[in-house]
Amino acid sequence: MALDTADATDQLLGEGDIPPVHEVNAGGASPFLLTSDHHGRVLPHSLGDLGVAESELTRHIAWDIGIAGVADRLAKMLDAHLVAQRYSRLVIDCNRPPGAMSSIPMISEATTIPRNEGISEHEREARRREIFEPYHHRIAAVIDSRVHDKQPTVLVSLHSFTPVYPGVARPWHIGALYNRDTVLPKLLLKHLRAESDLVVGDNEPYAVSDLTDYTIPVHGEARGLINTGIEIRQDLIADQSGQQQWAERLARSFAEIEVELRAERLVG
């Protein structure tokens, strides 16, 4: 039986669309649980190109350039579980509270997103239901399972940032981001700053807040997990060589941090 117009509007993903959640090393034994909110830039077939040129869809406005390669490699190096989001942040931003204006942006860094203008509440709900919620429900379920199994969990949210914004060069190679919990960020900052070739940002180029972020406030802070956000400058991880180097660098730091956390009995 054919769907009526309302039903069709309510459905976002269809035949040929991939599942929103990407996972690596789900059985990983590491206490570090990795997330990547802007891992991919896939668009649902039903939305076409969102009215945006392909050249725009490869920019930072659509995804976190380079972070997918870093995240996938780091998960394997640490024997850590990675939960990542495949769809473009232009469809719905999985690190924004669903009610925020930036959740489904009509304009991003001066680029208009025509297909996001004037959408109905039905379509907004479809994007939340079929992309945002499966991703965050999966993270929550993984944490629930780890708590049940008494497996220590330290949340690390992986992102990348543009070298210039807006018109101002950003000097940092990497930044540690946080809000209420400073345990892991302080350790990470210490280890990164011990590497003399790095300019390290302390809550730079962004800081975590309840108004602008979702993953750390909801899955980290609200659940009492030790946590940090990480931002890596995109020009450093734009190719596979850079992604490999940065995954190795972070793997070294986190291996040492795990020893410190265990010594302080902050993880079991």
Say which residue the tokens 């190679």 belong to: 173
Q: The domain spanning residue 185 has which CATH number?
A: 3.40.630.40
Q: Which helix (H) or strand (E) holds 37?
A: none
| pTM for this predicted structure | 0.94
Query: What is the residue-level pLDDT of the chain in tens, covering all 268 positions?
Result: 233 333 445 789 999 999 999 999 999 999 999 999 999 999 999 999 999 999 999 999 999 999 999 999 999 999 999 999 999 999 999 999 998 999 999 999 889 999 999 999 999 999 999 999 999 999 999 999 999 999 999 999 999 999 998 889 999 999 999 999 999 999 999 999 999 899 999 999 999 999 999 999 999 999 999 999 999 999 999 999 999 999 999 999 999 999 999 999 998 7
**186 domain residue, yes or no:** yes
**How many structural domains does the chain have?**
1
**74 domain residue, yes or no:** yes
Domain that holds residue 218: 16-263
**115 domain residue, yes or no:** yes
Exposure string for 219-241, b = 16+ CB within 10 A, e = fewer: bbbeeebbbbbbbbbbebbeeee
pLDDT of 109: 86
**3 domain residue, yes or no:** no
**4 domain residue, yes or no:** no
**67 domain residue, yes or no:** yes
| Beta bridge partners of residue 169, listed in sequence order | 164
Q: Which helix (H) or strand (E) holds 188?
A: helix 183-193
pLDDT of 9: 52
**113 domain residue, yes or no:** yes
- Rounded Cα gap, residues 5 and 136, in angstroms: 29
**8 domain residue, yes or no:** no
